[in-house]
Structure 1
Amino acid sequence: MLKVFDVRQIFTAGMVLFAVIDIIGSIPIIIDLRKKLGHIQSEKASVVAGIIMVVFLFVGKEILNLIGIDVNSFAVAGSFILFFLALEMILGISLYKDDAPETASIVPLAFPLIAGAGTLTSLVSLQAEYEMANIIVAIFINIIFVYLVLKSSAKIEKVLGSQGISVIRKIFGVILLAIAVKLFAENIQSLFS
């Protein structure tokens, strides 16, 4: 069982999820929600997002099989989503915009802000490359980090400032772009072989 856990896989999967969830980049949204509504349910949002991600990790592949899509095809599609998310982060543009949430409950925070389409696509894409146990550990680590950020978003904003948050977004955007290219290259070969 110990051979299943690979620190490199956990780190890489964790970095992919961290970049896609982009909780640091979401701090302005979180702060805005806190100002409008006074309270954010950090614990509940984190737990529900974690449950959504783990459940999708297990049943996402079966859902794809049910509709006749293999994991490699989904991984290639996921690489495109990661690519465009990375472009948004690097260039500071918005290619896709959701309507502003009306309440700071589970719905806008847990889904789609934390466990959104990009995160769920990434989870299924990661299955093509990494062991399930390592992805679960990466999810758990990210959920802990998400909780800490949600709980202390106002303090983080004061420490980093808007320039610091912008720099972090761009750094993770470049990392995410490189991961998208690697994911595409590795899975496109499987489709044609």
Structure 2
Amino acid sequence: MTDFVAAFIASFITIFVIMDPFASIPAFIAMTHRLDAAQARAAANKAIIIAAVLAVVFLFAGSALLDWLGITMNDFRIAGGIVLGLLGLEMVLGFSLGKESETEEGESVAVLIATPLLTGPGLLSSLVILSGEYGYMPPLAATLTACTLSWVLLVNARRLRDLVGDNVIDIFSKVMGLLLIALAVSFVKGGLIG
């Protein structure tokens, strides 16, 4: 296996697990239940575009921001690992550590799905770490692939729920949470050893 393929696979698994589009499906369905199919698809399109642009910008500019702030990559690995661990615990145990955000009248469904659900602090910190480990191209390709798969899931969210049910989607989300906790441990360990 080439270095690029190995780096792409490692980056993709990390990014897709953190994005956890399965956890976004119930929220997307709830926020778009009054929209027709075309409007829901447009909201999914916009959400993925926003998430992808934010992720790509942070992938390329995140390290420069850390340098400017005087934060080392090992510091960021530890901090990112803690954030990912907490996100994983939330996913597995079903509680929220942050304050619940209430949607205001003017807020767009797409923005709420894009961030913080798909592209939140866990993903942004992971992108900086991945770019430090593998360079820019494997995480970029992995980000675009994960966004494409997330788009497929969001566009088909209603069909998926009808096909497999809420319980199966919840189980997938909890498995993603366990994987996220394992990634968090790996990030913290890497930060402490490095």
Same fold by TM (over 0.5)?
yes
Partner residue in 2 for 1:187: 191
Alignment of 1:84-99 (within 5 A): 84-99=86-101
Query: 1:12, CA displacement in angstroms?
Result: 2.0
More deviation in 74-83 or 120-129? 120-129
Partner residue in 2 for 1:127: 131
Query: 1:165, CA displacement in angstroms?
Result: 1.1
- What secondary structure sits across from 1:129 in the alignment? helix
Partner residue in 1 for 2:70: 68
Alpha-carbon deviations, 1:105-141, whole Å to 9, x = none? 4421222222122211121122333332110111011
Partner residue in 1 for 2:8: 10
Partner residue in 1 for 2:154: 150
**CA distance in structure 2 between the partners assigned to 1:131 and 1:156 by the alignment:** 35
Alpha-carbon deviations, 1:34-83, whole Å to 9, x = none? 11455332222212211110110010110111111112211110000111
In the superposition, relative to structure 1, how do residues 67 and 173 fare at CA in structure 2: closer, same or farther (>3 Å)?
same
**CA distance in structure 2 between the partners assigned to 1:125 and 1:37 by the alignment:** 38
- What secondary structure sits across from 1:65 in the alignment? helix
TM value normalised by structure 2? 0.88
State whether residues 77 and 190 of structure 2, in contact with CA within 8 Å, keep that contact through their aligned partners in structure 1: no
State whether residues 21 and 153 of structure 2, in contact with CA within 8 Å, keep that contact through their aligned partners in structure 1: yes
**CA distance in structure 1 between the partners assigned to 2:34 and 2:129 by the alignment:** 36
**CA distance in structure 2 between the partners assigned to 1:145 and 1:89 by the alignment:** 20
State whether residues 50 and 111 of structure 2, in contact with CA within 8 Å, keep that contact through their aligned partners in structure 1: no
Alpha-carbon deviations, 1:20-47, whole Å to 9, x = none? 1111011110000111455332222212
5+ unaligned residues in a row in structure 2: which ranges? none
Out of 176, 179, 183, which is 1:172 matched to? 176
Q: Look up the equivalent residue of 1:96 and give its one-letter code.
A: G
In the superposition, relative to structure 1, how do residues 11 and 97 fare at CA in structure 2: closer, same or farther (>3 Å)?
farther
State whether residues 24 and 113 of structure 2, in contact with CA within 8 Å, keep that contact through their aligned partners in structure 1: no
**RMSD of aligned residue pairs (Cα, Å):** 1.9
- What secondary structure sits across from 2:21 in the alignment? coil
Count of matched residue pairs: 188
Q: Which runs of 4+ in 1 moved over 4 A?
A: none
5+ unaligned residues in a row in structure 1: which ranges? none
- What secondary structure sits across from 1:46 in the alignment? helix
Partner residue in 2 for 1:58: 60
Q: Look up the equivalent residue of 2:48 and give its one-letter code.
A: S
